Amino acid sequence: MIQEQQTGHNGVDENIRFKPVKTKRAFEEVCDQIRLAILEGRLEAGDKLPAERQLAESLDVSRATVREAFRTLEIAGVLSLRKGVNGGAVVMQGDARPITQTISDLLSLGGLSLSDYMEARVCLQREVIKLACERGEEADFQALEANIDATEKLTTVAQIEDRTALTIEFYHLLAAATKNQAMSILMSAVTEPLGYYIKQIGVDRSWNVAESRQRFVAHLRDRNAPEAEKEMMSHMERLHSYMLQRAQEAANNRG
Amino acid sequence: MIQEQQTGHNGVDENIRFKPVKTKRAFEEVCDQIRLAILEGRLEAGDKLPAERQLAESLDVSRATVREAFRTLEIAGVLSLRKGVNGGAVVMQGDARPITQTISDLLSLGGLSLSDYMEARVCLQREVIKLACERGEEADFQALEANIDATEKLTTVAQIEDRTALTIEFYHLLAAATKNQAMSILMSAVTEPLGYYIKQIGVDRSWNVAESRQRFVAHLRDRNAPEAEKEMMSHMERLHSYMLQRAQEAANNRG
DNA sequence: CTTGTGTATTGGTCTGATCATTTAATGATT
DNA sequence: AATCATTAAATGATCAGACCAATACACAAG
């Protein structure tokens, strides 16, 4: 049963690398064709693809196959499917949600530990702060302050959902101040899954977040990256240790 | 056509917020149920779901609907579908590929600019270097050096594909040295799309990358993060300006 | 011009069948 | 007894054709 190591005695397996055989399924082929068309510029955002029935005939596959391909690309944020006359599959500009979804899935499936996740969040945040300090405009700072004000107004327990949404928005606004779309996307992807945990374990009410955030924004406005970073880091450290602790408690209760 | 602002004259639209109606499709409902089961721990990695035919009956939907749900979760890396006896849908630990795919899609669709993308890559790289300097072990450094050696051996034009693969692997190995799964995932997601561009526009052959990488690894081994960062940054700056230039040329040729 | 009413188009779902692949059970061969 | 080829059953992959449901546009009514 033990496969003998091929050590070159037949002369051709030193440099030849075999790739595992993977027969492609029909819907994957359709996906690839569409993605290739986009990559090569034959399709671009806003273009409408043929109707399912028509495309199925063109590609000589069943409608179900086209549907699975469309579904795949819809989930990926590449296509948008709309019903009705003048509906159909339209090419989008792409969507960051799949990234967020994947992070959430990895967290709930155990493919990613909470502590690794949160450390990465801190790392990203550091870079976001640097850029935001450099490029943030007055409008960005005002948006952040408006967000803090709005959050302070929501104090009742019933409003925890809205409060959480505002907290997440705070990080979005901060990321937007970097003027870098990629940083915004990554920061969102890494922030939104927090919402679930916050809802789950509640917030640490022993501590007023608003003050810390106000100081933070003031540092941003001063273009004082080190101080802004320090302020944010102490906040995040507190949040993360609180979350890890609560997660640990929950695990103990289960086990 | 201008909608009159509702200013409370009918008394009930001040505090009531309406959410847009969004009728969920059947397959989405199935997806949600499976994801919820995972989140609540009723399903976990390794578990096998009922066969399509059986689950369709349980949920009182058609097989096609179950299929679209399974397909969605398979693409997301949550499920693995296997044919044959004892096949079926098995829950996985999650997969980072959807993130990479999404970044690629965003790039090719124009939802993300090449320069924003590359800047984010630099930012992430900085953090990766910090952590790798802190936590990298001798085995990590040796793996990096082995990678550099292997890359140097591939010099012919025909081997550019393998060369590119090794370059991408270099960044994976570096990310692995952080001992942080999330950083590895993000770095991979942001590195792999490079492969396409490198294949497309070729490499800058006027410059020996291996030397730079060797110096870089030496700094890592010395735990000298600032110098390692400096070395890597100069490399990336060169690479990125080269890529932007070539991308610009390509755009000019098209337009 | 506005408003309501059809109506054709298109994605969403269902039913039911066949194909292809994989594994396990079976049986023949050594 | 061990090994190998054969067969059978389970399961995903695909196909075919039908109907449902939402949508936008044309058109009639007021």
Residues B131 and B227 in one domain: yes
Residues B144 and B60 in one domain: no
Q: Is A133's pLDDT higher than 70? A: yes
Residues A133 and A219 in one domain: yes
Cα(B34)–Cα(B40) distance, integer angstroms: 10
Choose the final residue of a domain: A55, A74, A95: A95
Residues A85 and A113 in one domain: no
Residues B174 and B128 in one domain: yes
Mean pLDDT value across residues A197-207: 74
Residues A68 and A163 in one domain: no
Non-local CB neighbours of A137 within 8 Å, separated by 6+ positions: A177
Q: Is A235 on the interface with B (CB under 8 A)?
A: no
Q: How far apart are the first and last CA of chain B?
A: 40
The residues that bridge with B82 in the sheet, in sequence order, are: B88
Q: How confident is the model at residue A10 (pLDDT cuts 50, 70, 90)?
A: very low
In this prediction, residue B149 carries a pLDDT of 95
Residues B102 and B139 in one domain: yes
Q: CA A66 – C1' D25 distance (Å)?
A: 27
Measured between beta carbons, the chain B residues lying within 8 angstroms of A106 are 93-94, 96, 185
Cα(B148)–Cα(B212) distance, integer angstroms: 10
In this prediction, residue A254 carries a pLDDT of 67
Q: Is B253's pLDDT higher than 80? A: no
Q: Per mean pLDDT, which range of A61-75, B14-28, B118-132 is the poorest?
A: B14-28
Q: Is B94 on the interface with A (CB under 8 A)?
A: yes
CB contact under 8 A, A75 and B72: yes
Q: Is B1's pLDDT higher than 50? A: no
Residue B227 in contact with residue B129, Cβ under 8 Å?
no
Number of domains in chain A: 2
What size, in residues, is chain A?
Answer: 255
CATH code, domain carrying A13: 1.10.10.10
Candidates B41, B92, B127; nearest CB to A123 = B127
Residues A79 and A113 in one domain: no
CATH code, domain carrying A176: 1.20.120.530
Cα(B120)–Cα(B131) distance, integer angstroms: 17
Choose the final residue of a domain: A80, A95, A110: A95
* Protein-contacted positions of strand C (CB under 7 Å): 8-17, 20-24
Q: Is A243's pLDDT higher than 60? A: yes
Single out the residue of A181, A190, A185 nearest to residue A104, CA to CA: A190
Q: What is the mean pLDDT of chain A?
A: 89
**Dihedral Cα B34, B37, B41, B47, nearest 10 deg:** -40
Measured between beta carbons, the chain B residues lying within 8 angstroms of A119 are 180, 182-183
Residue B127 in contact with residue B183, Cβ under 8 Å?
yes
> The domain containing residue A59 runs over which residues?
1-95
Residues B137 and B249 in one domain: yes
What size, in residues, is chain B?
Answer: 255
Q: Is A69's pLDDT higher than 70? A: yes
pLDDT (tens digit per residue) in B117-147: 999 999 999 999 999 999 999 999 999 999 9
Angle at A111 between CA A229 and CA B95, to 5 degrees: 100
Q: Is A73's pLDDT higher than 70? A: yes
Residues A183 and A66 in one domain: no
Choose the final residue of a domain: A70, A95, A120: A95
Residues A196 and A214 in one domain: yes
Higher pLDDT pick, A132 / B6: A132
Higher pLDDT pick, B126 / B252: B126
Q: Is A14 on the interface with B (CB under 8 A)?
A: no
Residues A231 and A164 in one domain: yes
CA distances from B83 to A62, B76, B142 (A): 20, 19, 41
In this prediction, residue B4 carries a pLDDT of 40
Cα(B134)–Cα(B195) distance, integer angstroms: 28
Mean pLDDT value across residues B73-82: 97
Single out the residue of B182, B65, B216 nearest to residue A68, CA to CA: B65
Q: How confident is the model at residue B23 (pLDDT cuts 50, 70, 90)?
A: confident
